[in-house]
Amino acid sequence: MNGTIRSLARRFSSQLQSKVVPRTPVKGKVFVGLVASGVAYDGVVNEFGTLQAVTRFLRSLRIAVSISLDYTLSLRGLEEGTDEYSARKKEVHLRCAHRMLKGCLANGGLYIKVGQGFATVNHILPPEYTETLQKLHNECLTRKKDEVKRVFIEEFGQKPEELFQEFDYNPIAAASLAQVFQATTKDGEKVAVKVQYIDLQKRFAGDLGTIIFLQDIIEIVHKNYNFGWIIRDIRKNLEKELDFVNEGKNSEKCAKDLAKFSYVYVPRVRWDLTNTKVLTTEWIDGVKMNQTEEIKKRGFDLADVDVKIFTTFSEQIFNTGFVHGDPHPGNVLIRRGKNGKAELVLLDHGLYENVPEDVKDSLCHFWEAIVLKDHKTMKEYATKLNVK
């Protein structure tokens, strides 16, 4: 799309950077902010022009400016590396993390998904950010009954109660992209129905464009900030996760890849009740893999469960190369298999990564070297994996 916020940011990035350098730091930052904000606002109005989109943009801009000023003014005059500087910086981190949290909650949708992404990179971002943004994982976003009906009418031309024998409008789970409902098909099968929020795809370009634009401007203003790649990585993943047909195909490939393991099960997709915004699969009852007490109550051996989880994901990483990208506890259930022992049920197949052959090979040698305590080989393959 010509003239998107992202392309505007790129264009002004190179032009403004050379112009700002000769100015004093504060004036330069104000200049960049004012010019870039005007450009971005015009882009939002022209391309994503709804009142809600503009409101989300202005809210995001206000938060970004307040964060930028907080770092600039709060740390001014302090010598980097001193105890006072470190203590002050932690305070600023925490204040700014709370601003981000409030902004994500207010804007909703993709902003919450992006915030959740930031919360997972605790090896990169300060703990003040990752711990604060962890709260977004507990946010249960629900939409009204009428909105769910609209999705079905737009996608199938029928309401849920017309497509299914029974459909419970009370969601059993909700996340940043979709809600999950329990239903019974016309042929009597109990199913889980994942329904995407109605406005997500319409908001995608505008909201992600706004976030990426603000990241680009922050990188211009704050030379030490270089985390924009996180957003771009999240964007790539979101494009995959918003296509529920792709998720259904991923689940079938996963089931095929792991078919040799009798203790792994992937819910079957009901393609007659699935499209890009609605995914219907067979219903599975089970216990989350981190609910250890409940797992023991059901008579399962924790060591056996651990080995099965380890073996399953090792198979994906080191052998098939088709790796589940979001194996958190809610996406791995434990239930009783046909042989009476623990069976793994893998859910949520929206995000997968294909591991290249050379990377798989390097990973195998790297882990073998770890087991053998061969430090020379460890270093060799760590370098090949760009690990320092």
Residues noted as catalytic:
326
| Alpha-carbon gap, residue 240 to 257, rounded angstroms | 20
Partners of 179 in beta bridges: 174, 195
Structural tokens at position 336: 């009783």
51-74 and 200-221 helices cross at what angle (nearest 10)? 20
Report the C-alpha gap between 259 and 256 in whole angstroms. 5
Residues forming beta bridges with residue 322, ordered by sequence position: 354
Integer CA distances (angstroms), 160 to 115, 145, 184, 361, in order: 31, 10, 10, 48
DSSP 8-state secondary structure symbol assigned to residue 349: -
Tokens for 42, please give them: 């015009």
What would you report as the CA-atom Rg of the chain, rounded to the nearest whole angstrom?
24
Taking CA atoms, 59 is separated from 6, 52, 163, in Å, by 18, 10, 40
